[in-house]
Chains A and B, each alone.
Chain A
Amino acid sequence: MSDRLADLVDGAIRGDASHMDALLEAWWPEAYRIAFGILRDRALAQDAAQDACATTYRHIGALRSVGSYRAWLYRVVVRCAQETARKQPHVDALVETLVSKAATAPDIEESLDVGAALGRLPHDMRVLVLLRYYANLTSREIGSVMGIPSATVRFRLAIARRRLKQLLDTSPSATPLSDEVRTRA
């Protein structure tokens, strides 16, 4: 997948329209999943992912070398998702409400799922966890995506891991939040 994406990025940088179309289509699932992981709302994630693809289309020429394409593509997605979240301040509050409601339900026995735990992380930590553990970016790449030093990435990831551990260890269980959000959307 990575090799294919690199080829498509290379072609898109050179202005090849067919490569650009194929790149956007190949990148779409990844962009949507990252956006959903951050925003946790189908409609908003679709909006953000489409914005990210459009931004990629307009600015791929600014990418000087194929070597850094992964961090660049993720940076575009994260920024579009953050911009969407900024316009929709209710998103985190909604997620928090849903998680709290589910966590206090009396008949739930299973442990809180990772999706719900992610939803309870502060926004920037959620981005870090997704980039590190789903996108497999290195600390340096994540730092490039978020504009922070790699040491800061490691530090914040350590806190995020601890917070996740606390949520997964101590919280009563919940219906997977992602399903509820999907239903709402």
Chain B
Amino acid sequence: MLNEQTLKSAVSSYVGTIRVPEFDAAAIRGRTVLPLQTTARRNPLRALALGLILVPCAAIAYTVIPDSVKQDTLVQLHAMGIPVDRMVFHSGGFITLQQARREASFAMVLPAGLPTDAVLKSVTTAVPDVFTFEYETPRGPVYFELHKASHKTYLEPIFVAGDSASPEAKVHLEKFAAQVWHVGDQDFIVATHALTGSQLARIKAAMGAVNAPAPPPARN
């Protein structure tokens, strides 16, 4: 059984056995010296000439480069924390939303009906056929977990909250944990304490969802 304590013990003992090489003060000192001047400062005319060449080349390249490559670039920017106006999936490697929808074995119904100030921050898939959407709102994060109906891996919202959740959040999530919604071939939950009951009802209606007929067969 993998609980907090056994995981902590296992990870600590694994990392603790990693052999550490000798501390090399000289190598570190060598890295503390920064280049005194950038290329542009050393030779401004050369930098300007390079800019005049590179900017038109970049413009031409943008029109020639296939959309898939552009998408990959956006994904890399997303990975670096630079906001991009696209939804991306990541699970070790990055795939696009279109690829994820193709790979999902169920017809994915995307989150809808959220407040207008909710912004999609990330979409993650760590387990096949389970997709988590994270939105940010001024009142806190909102998490959707979409999975195939009656999927064996089901994440309880209270599990998400962890030990440090406030009592109010726990009550809210416990109440919510009983609610698994169903649409088409998909079950989903919304884990948040940032939305009111009416806002949740609006999401449920916008996605055309109903209460799931039965609890998932297995819960973590």
CB pair A154–B153 under 8 Å, yes or no, is no
Size of A's binding interface in residues, CB under 8 A = 60
What are the residues of chain A within 8 A of B164 when measuring CB–CB? Answer: 138-139, 150, 154
The answer, among B14, B25, B134, for a CB contact under 8 Å with A155, is B134
Q: A10 within 8 Å of B by Cβ?
A: no
CB pair A168–B2 under 8 Å, yes or no, is yes
Q: A61 within 8 Å of B by Cβ?
A: no
CB pair B2–A118 under 8 Å, yes or no, is no
With A58-B32, A92-B92, A168-B2 known as contacts, the answer to whether A151 contacts B141 (CB < 8 A) is yes
CB pair A114–B24 under 8 Å, yes or no, is no
CB pair B14–A118 under 8 Å, yes or no, is yes
What are the residues of chain A within 8 A of B18 when measuring CB–CB? Answer: 32-33, 36-37, 178
Distance between Cα atoms of A45 and B159 in the complex (Å) = 33
CB pair B28–A155 under 8 Å, yes or no, is no
Total residue contacts A-B, CB cutoff 8 A: 131
SS class, residues of chain A in contact with chain B: helix
Q: B98 within 8 Å of A by Cβ?
A: no
Distance between Cα atoms of A118 and B2 in the complex (Å) = 14
Distance between Cα atoms of A151 and B143 in the complex (Å) = 10
CB pair A32–B11 under 8 Å, yes or no, is no
What are the residues of chain A within 8 A of B141 when measuring CB–CB? Answer: 149, 151-152, 155
Least CB distance from A92 to B in Å reads 6
Q: B48 within 8 Å of A by Cβ?
A: no
Interface size of B as a range? 35 or more
What are the residues of chain A within 8 A of B206 when measuring CB–CB? Answer: none
Q: Mark B11-43, 1 if CB is under 8 A from A, else 0.
A: 110111111110111011101101000000000
Of all chain B residues, the one with the shortest Cβ separation from A146 is: B81
Distance between Cα atoms of A133 and B220 in the complex (Å) = 19
The answer, among A34, A54, A122, A154, for a CB contact under 8 Å with B126, is A122
What are the residues of chain B within 8 A of A178 when measuring CB–CB? Answer: 14, 17-18
CB pair B159–A42 under 8 Å, yes or no, is no
Least CB distance from B204 to A in Å reads 21
CB pair A155–B143 under 8 Å, yes or no, is yes
CB pair B153–A157 under 8 Å, yes or no, is no
The answer, among A25, A92, A169, for a CB contact under 8 Å with B25, is A25
With A133-B11, A162-B153, A166-B153 known as contacts, the answer to whether A155 contacts B32 (CB < 8 A) is no
Distance between Cα atoms of A166 and B17 in the complex (Å) = 24
Distance between Cα atoms of A172 and B123 in the complex (Å) = 29
The answer, among A51, A134, A158, A168, for a CB contact under 8 Å with B155, is A158
Distance between Cα atoms of A156 and B153 in the complex (Å) = 15
Distance between Cα atoms of A123 and B94 in the complex (Å) = 11
CB pair A160–B11 under 8 Å, yes or no, is no
Least CB distance from A61 to B in Å reads 13
What are the residues of chain A within 8 A of B112 when measuring CB–CB? Answer: none
The answer, among A54, A113, A124, for a CB contact under 8 Å with B32, is A54
CB pair A57–B32 under 8 Å, yes or no, is yes
Of all chain B residues, the one with the shortest Cβ separation from A163 is: B126
CB pair B11–A155 under 8 Å, yes or no, is no
Least CB distance from A90 to B in Å reads 12
Distance between Cα atoms of A164 and B19 in the complex (Å) = 23
Q: A130 within 8 Å of B by Cβ?
A: yes
20 other A-B residue contacts (CB within 8 Å) besides A124-B90, A163-B126? A36-B15, A50-B24, A54-B29, A57-B28, A58-B34, A96-B92, A114-B10, A115-B14, A121-B92, A121-B126, A134-B11, A138-B164, A147-B81, A154-B162, A155-B134, A155-B143, A161-B7, A165-B2, A169-B2, A178-B18
